[in-house]
A = this chain, B = another copy of it.
Amino acid sequence: MLQEAWLRRLGLLLWLCSWLGPVQGGRVLVMPVDGSHWLSMKLLVDELAQRGHEILLLVPETSILIKGSELYHTETFSVPYSRSDLSASVEWMREGVFRRNPPLTDIMINVERLMNFTSMQVIGCEALLYNNTLMEKLKKAEFELLLTDPFLPCGTIIATALSLPTIYFLRGMPCGLDLLAAQCPSPPSYVPRFASGNTDQMDFMQRVKNFIMTGVELQLCRTMYSRFDELASRYLERDVTYRELIGYGAIWLLRYDFTFEFPRPVMPNMAFIGGINCGKSSALTRDVEEFVEGSGEHGIVVFTLGSLVASMPPEDAAVFFEAFGKIPQRVLWRYTGPVPDHVPENVKLMKWLPQNDLLGHPKARAFITHGGTHGIYEGICHGVPMVMLPLFGDQNDNVHRISIRGVGIALSIFDITSEILVSALDKVINDSSYKENMVKLSRVHNDRPIEPLDLAVYWTEFVMRHKGAEHLRPAAHELNWLQYHSLDVIGFLLCVMVIVIITVLKCCSLCLRKCCRKSPKKKED
């Protein structure tokens, strides 16, 4: 009898486990965004493939960093622009970052760059959506899930057209569209807005600025995504906005960690995978390892300006070469620009840096970075203080967050001289407070109940197992702006109050009048 009960219990356990284990043979459609965005999403895609999921990657023929792999299938689609068009656009952006702009125009230039880049992507997306052969093939493939970076809209439109649950993989979207779409409250009183230069601790005038920028952001969102809205509405044959569409996403995998971001309200369908890119370190190649080891007690400085900016104008490069000649550390620099005649002996120029592996090396003393989130998380993860030179996009904000935590120094690429750079490097390497603060931050960052990659895999498989995450979708999606903020209710209650007050006043005046009328009569009597 007892044995039977145990067998039943074992059966129940195995049945439960069958729901909790990996989904065998899940079919996942992936729509990535090129550039550094792809570098971290690739980690999840690789892991999913290794866990037995069948992956199809949709890649435009002009792709720069997204390459095929034997782990998954790649479907290349043609776009009405060439790789050189795209390269020209990237080059225009790349050159621009070393040119100083008049004050206050930075945001507009950033927006212009972004709109220029996304416009091209909208054209590419249109070519994909109206590629009937390919779309028919995708429909027939019966995917269970779409994984995409909502920075570009094509993935979400395809997910809607194919009725697929969606997983979003991102750090954030321009003008906070991700937070708006996820119905996530962002009080402007302590959640700093993009490019505002604010932290979460603001004085009155900073809060005024932040509040105004909230309004500007909303307007910007409308302008920036209007072409996406138009494309989505036309393709789906109903009046939709991109914001509405991404609101249907099942899970938001956000490359967020509160050692770097400011604490703020979040939603239950957000999972935080900040630092996902520094999970796995590989050994350095022999020549790099030898160069690093040869640095002795002084150690090394790692220098890169991100996946898009590998070179710089010679006059800027000269400043760096001069500065590096003056420091005792060895420098590994990702640089593909023209090489001057006398490169200091302690400098090794490389076309591509194993950034994470170098920062994880015990000899790493400082990290010169443009302040992209990948680099910053790798710096925090390995506890390496930073000297930062923000170039564009969110980098100014990122760099600001690192500076105020006392783990790095922000410099301006326009004002840099070899003296300023040497002094900053000297400070982050030899003023022990930077290293101490960074080690503390690093310990907190690395202390988590589950590794970011495992968490990302878990939620992806969860959505496949349950065909979405409907239980995490807030009812706020059913409300319009007025309703969400209870403004209609407040209006109604004010009306009721006014009516009550008027009625009471009328009654009182009526009573008073009656009393007044009576008294003269009495007098007359």
A interface residue numbers (CB < 8 A to B): 1-2, 5, 8-9, 12, 16, 19-20, 184-185, 187-190, 199-201, 204, 207-208, 211-212, 258-259, 262-269, 272, 283, 289-290, 293, 360-362, 443-444, 446-447, 449-450, 454-455, 458-459, 462, 465-466, 471-476, 478-479, 483-486, 488-490, 492-493
Contact = CB atoms under 8 A, between A and B. Distances in A.
Given A263-B472, A266-B265, A443 B19 contact: yes
Nearest to A483: B189
25 contacts: A5-B293, A19-B447, A184-B265, A185-B187, A188-B486, A188-B489, A189-B486, A189-B489, A190-B484, A200-B474, A200-B475, A204-B492, A207-B483, A207-B486, A208-B492, A208-B493, A211-B486, A211-B490, A262-B474, A263-B471, A263-B472, A264-B474, A265-B265, A266-B267, A447-B465
B19 A475 contact: no
**Residue of A199, A474, A485 with most partner-chain B CB within 10 A:** A474
B475 A262 contact: yes
A91 to B, nearest CB: 39
A289 B485 contact: no
A19 B440 CA distance: 11
Nearest to A264: B474
B190 A489 contact: no
Contacts of A475: 190, 199-201, 262-263
Contact of A267 (B204, B265, B272): B265
A380 to B, nearest CB: 11
B259 A471 contact: yes
A187 B259 CA distance: 27
Contacts of A283: 2, 5
Given A262-B475, A483-B207, A289 B465 contact: no
A210 to B, nearest CB: 8
B185 A472 contact: no
Contact of A263 (B258, B474, B488): B474
Contacts of A474: 190, 200, 262-265
A329 to B, nearest CB: 18
Contacts of A289: 1-2, 5
A478 B189 CA distance: 10
Given A1-B293, A207-B483, 8 more contacts: A1-B289, A5-B293, A12-B360, A16-B446, A187-B484, A262-B474, A266-B266, A447-B466
